[in-house]
Amino acid sequence: MEENTRFGKRIIGGQSVTDDSYGFMGILKINKLSDGWFLCGATLINNSTLITAAHCVSTPKYNIPTKQLIIGLGSPNIAKQIEVKPLKVTIHPQWSFSTLENDIAVIKIPPIKISKKIWPINLATYGIAQDTNVVALGWGKLSNNDDNLSENLQKVGLVTGNPELCSALKPNKKRNSKSLLCTINSKSLRKDTCLGDSGGPLITDNGNLGKQFIGITSFGTNSTGFGNNECGLKSGYGFYTKVSYYFDFIYNSL
């Protein structure tokens, strides 16, 4: 992984969510024991399955045991969520920390009652064109200079980039470009995802089709090499695991 690559952790330039418009959004709490608790996002796709990023549930040396994970659902406010213990986590068998390839994992939970507060999102079955308006969701820091987490879910509007340009800019040239989506900060008025938003969804909201799950927050890069922790810079790019590319893996893990 190049030094100017960073995993997604916080929403930069977003808005607070206070209603049930994103009932599919879950928070993944990861207990790394001596290293403390970490937060990621997770997306509910049916009453017993969530999708997250593989790097949220693994380290370069081992996969994090299921017993060290907790899912929060049912409210944009962390303190008001119900907590669920995962039953099983399936990480993509070709996930690689070194190349960031196949950054996706499936989490199984006991069946949960669908309601106005908790409901699954559809997986997008269509391609995403350049300059498409999309929305990213997550909890975490609200700026580069703020170490406090947001109590409420944040959303941010972004714009997808040219696939060829994104391919040329991706940090690891070996990674399969067809498995990625990217957003370009210069087109999004320096709005961005960053460290803590990892694993959360990138979605579209296309009228009659409703909300569609298109990507998983994976990593970002500052193309001019500004360092790991700066997010929302005009020169930055956000990269997302393309959900439609992994349909077979997802359905085989249900």
The pLDDT value given to residue 5? 36
Query: How many structural domains is the chain composed of?
Result: 2
Domain boundary among 119, 134, 167: 119
Residue 249 lies in a domain: no
Residues pairing with 195 in the sheet: 9
Say if CB 109 and CB 84 are below 8 A apart.
Answer: yes
Q: Are residues 14 and 126 in the same domain?
A: yes
For strands 122-123 and 211-222, give the pairing. Answer: parallel
The pLDDT value given to residue 77? 94
Say if CB 160 and CB 183 are below 8 A apart.
Answer: yes
- pLDDT by residue for the chain (254 residues), tens digit each? 333 333 344 455 568 898 999 999 999 999 876 666 788 999 999 999 999 999 999 988 899 999 999 999 999 999 999 999 999 999 999 999 888 889 999 999 999 999 999 999 999 988 888 889 999 998 865 555 555 567 889 888 888 887 776 766 655 555 567 888 988 765 444 444 445 578 999 999 876 778 999 999 988 765 433 334 455 445 567 889 999 999 999 999 99
Q: Are residues 13 and 46 in the same domain?
A: no
Domain boundary among 119, 137, 168: 119
230, burial (CB in 10 Å: exposed 0-12, middle 13-18, buried 19+): middle
Residue 193 lies in a domain: yes
Q: Are residues 178 and 156 in the same domain?
A: yes
Q: Are residues 112 and 187 in the same domain?
A: no
Structure tokens at 136: 């990213």
Q: Are residues 213 and 197 in the same domain?
A: yes
Q: Are residues 127 and 82 in the same domain?
A: no
Residue 229 lies in a domain: yes
Domain boundary among 87, 119, 151: 119
Q: Are residues 92 and 180 in the same domain?
A: no
Residue 251 lies in a domain: no
Say if CB 90 and CB 106 are below 8 A apart.
Answer: yes
d(CA 68, CA 100): 23
Q: Which domain holds residue 101?
A: 25-119
Beta-sheet strands, E only, within 92-200: 105-108, 122-123, 133-138, 154-159, 180-184, 192-195
Q: Are residues 162 and 38 in the same domain?
A: no
CATH number at residue 59: 2.40.10.10
